[in-house]
Structure 1
Amino acid sequence: MAAATSIASALLSLTLILLLFLQSHLVFSFPFDVEDDDEVYVLDNPIPNFLSRSRFLARASNMIKKGTHCDPEYKNICNGVSANNGTSLLYCCKTHCRNVLGDMNNCGRCGVKCKFGERCCNGSCISVVYNDNHCGKCNKKCPYGVKCDYGSCGYA
């Protein structure tokens, strides 16, 4: 009987630990969007590719993958290049293409880092924790009369 009691006690303890872990994970999870590393920028004005006569390869010059290697002194492919219908502006920051309109480590220009609780919205670091016009992420407006608290509209 003592062995059954100790097994039941161990299972109950394990269940409680698991529930506490899951609850803390849900409470402390970061509610803001995280950028996708596989993002591709579609250029507003394609870069001409004179080496390629193929239509398939020519299409590749219309896109730049996020983080593409660039060299500011030689063949810089992202020096003030507009992409995604004007929502992205690519610059070569530390030899990699970065969107200075949305990159939290290069906001507005290379090397400008946004603080904790801020996002890079259209090239400016904006607090998204209590901002009714940028609640939790850029351009997410709370309904009229509803306040933004902790990055959520109407947090209760």
Structure 2
Amino acid sequence: MANFLKLSTILSLMVSALLLASQYPTAFSSEFEDEDDDELEEYVLDAPNPNFRLRGRFFVSIIKKGAHCDAVKYNICNGVRANNGTSILNCCKTHCRNILGDRNNCGKCGNKCKFAQRCCNGKCTNVAYNPKHCGKCTRKCSAGVKCEYGYCGYA
């Protein structure tokens, strides 16, 4: 009987924690989430890529996020501009990455940003205290307003 009470108490605590986590998901998530959530699922190339043809005479004009590439044989994304100049794709290891916005490949392949930093225009930036990139890239605070903890005018 005592084991049953312990088991039922543990089970009820676990169910309560799961219900709480489902009602308040932001309470259990990080303030500085990965920027991949903000990115498009596809990169629309600024100019068709002559390195890769899609059957016949048609060139690729859209590359899906994380598309497979090989820097030597199947090079579809090295130095390719996309999304009206807001992205530059490089073949990092075996996948196309936006080096202007990827925290794990910021500015070049393999350059990882530190904790609480985001890759803003190819540079690792501390978004907690930068008034030009407050909380996320390109979020600017009004003139004279400080950026504190990722919020403009926190205090």
TM-score, with normalisation over the residues of structure 2? 0.75
What is the CA–CA distance in structure 2 between the aligned matches of 1:62 and 1:111, rounded to whole Å? Answer: 26
* CA 93–50 in structure 1, closer or farther in 2 if over 3 Å, else same: closer
What is the CA–CA distance in structure 1 between the aligned matches of 2:26 and 2:100, rounded to whole Å? Answer: 30
**1:35 counterpart = 2:39:** no
Q: Which residue of 2 aligns with 1:52?
A: 56
**1:95 counterpart = 2:94:** yes
Q: Could you give the per-residue CA deviations for residues 11-57 of structure 1, whole angstroms, max 9, x where no partner exists?
A: xxx7xx76xx569864553234542376100001112436236xxxx
What is the CA–CA distance in structure 2 between the aligned matches of 1:50 and 1:68, rounded to whole Å? Answer: 14
Q: How many corresponding residue pairs?
A: 136
More strand per residue = 2
Q: Which residue of 1 aligns with 2:3?
A: none
* CA 74–140 in structure 1, closer or farther in 2 if over 3 Å, else same: same
Q: Could you give the per-residue CA deviations for residues 79-115 of structure 1, whole angstroms, max 9, x where no partner exists?
A: 1101011110000001100000100000000000000
Q: Alignment identity in percent?
A: 60
* CA 139–31 in structure 1, closer or farther in 2 if over 3 Å, else same: same
* CA 92–84 in structure 1, closer or farther in 2 if over 3 Å, else same: same
Q: Which residue of 1 aligns with 2:4?
A: none
State the SS of the aligned residue for 1:104. Answer: coil
Q: Report which of the two structures shows the higher radius of gyration computed on alpha carbons.
A: 1
For 1:151, the aligned partner's letter is G
Give yes or no for contact 2:54–2:60 (8 Å, CA) kept in 1: no
For 2:84, the aligned partner's letter is N
- Structure 1 gaps of 5+ residues are 1-9
- Structure 2 gaps of 5+ residues are 1-8
* CA 148–28 in structure 1, closer or farther in 2 if over 3 Å, else same: farther
Q: Could you give the per-residue CA deviations for residues 102-148 of structure 1, whole angstroms, max 9, x where no partner exists?
A: 00000000000000111001110010001111100111111122211
What is the CA–CA distance in structure 2 between the aligned matches of 1:65 and 1:148, rounded to whole Å? Answer: 34
TM-score, with normalisation over the residues of structure 1? 0.75
What is the CA–CA distance in structure 1 between the aligned matches of 2:55 and 2:28, rounded to whole Å? Answer: 51
What is the CA–CA distance in structure 2 between the aligned matches of 1:25 and 1:90, rounded to whole Å? Answer: 32
